[in-house]
Structure 1
Amino acid sequence: MLPPLYKQLLNDYQQDFPLSPRPYLDIAEQLGVSEAEVLAAFEALSEQQLISRIGPVIAPNNIGSSALVAMQVPPPELQRVADLISRYPEVNHNYERENRFNLWFVLIGRDADHLQALLADIEQRSGLKTMPLPMLADFYINLGFELNLHD
């Protein structure tokens, strides 16, 4: 069972995260707790693997260069490769799909050369090929979701 503060942070700050020099202080003031409590709660949520990162999701190709990337990963290697992909700060999310191309992720580089270098690094470290896909149409998918926070 999660403490009420953890639940509120998970539910209320998926979007509209404060953009300021001290966003955690802003959150603390909004919730009537200390900045240290907010930081400790986010750290605990991360340690419990309830959140993987706090950061922006940038629309494709608005800043830098981006690609949707698919990989064909042998099932016994899927978790290892997904964990490797998740360690790149340029990846905003990755997910498994039921397909021979079973690992998908969005990769953002500062420019096209950086994006290619990232893909090459991922291939070298994973031992697997990547398949970057061009964006033909822009679709917005809201990645936030309402959590059922009632006990």
Structure 2
Amino acid sequence: MTTAAPDLDRIDRAIINALQGGFPLCDRPYAAAAAPLGLSEAELIERLASLRTRGVLTRFGPLWKPEALGGEAVLAAMTVPADRFDEVAGQVNAFPEVAHNYARDHALNMWFVVAAETPERARAACDEIAAATGLAVLPLPKLHEFHLDLRLVA
């Protein structure tokens, strides 16, 4: 599966590159993040909204460790018929517990992350996704955590 490269100008690229390493914790975080980029707070917020609307960013927010808060994150996979892939992706993505969703060239062709407030809710969400789609969900609970610090350069 290939997608066209997004149309990003110099400022869009600078925003994406700068904000992957953290976000200020202060009274006006957008203003503090905008200043080094030479933008106003309003300009940064507008640019982030545009990047989301255009599908360049799918989300903008913190990454929580559910386990540290008593919850659980589970990688899950499904085998989805090609003619139902978009329909099922919509059904899966409608669950608030689903954080990421990926298409893969494999028998298990849809992968996603379920993050919930409790381990029981994570399992229930997987069961509800299976019931909603009529397809089996293979939950793959985390056995060991690896810290990669992945950064994408725009």
1:13-50 per-residue CA deviation (whole Å, 9 max, x = no partner) reads 12312234432222122222211111111111111110
| RMSD across aligned positions (CA) | 2.1
String of CA shifts for 1:68-112, please: whole Å, max 9, x gaps.
111111112223322333344433322122221111112111002
- Report the Cα offset of residue 60 of structure 1: 6.1
Q: 1:15 aligned to 7, 21, 24, which one? A: 21
Q: Comparing 114-123 with 45-54, which one deviates more in the overlay?
A: 114-123
**1:49 match:** 55
Which of the residues 111, 115, 123 maps onto 2:122? 115
Contact 1:60 1:67 in 2 (8 A): no
Aligned residues: 147
Give the letter aligned to residue 46 of structure 1: R
- Give the partner amino acid of 1:105: F
Cα deviations by residue, 1:101-142 (Å, 9 ceiling, x for unpaired): 111112111002221232233223323221111222222233
TM-score (norm 2): 0.81
Q: Percent identity, aligned pairs only?
A: 34
Helix, strand or coil for the counterpart of 1:57?
coil
- In the alignment, structure 1 residue 72 sits paired with structure 2 residue 79: yes
Give me the whole-angstrom Cα distance separating, in 2, the residues matched to 1:115 and 1:21.
33
TM-score (normalizing by structure 1): 0.82
CA drift at 1:54: 0.8
Gaps of 5+ in 2: 1-6
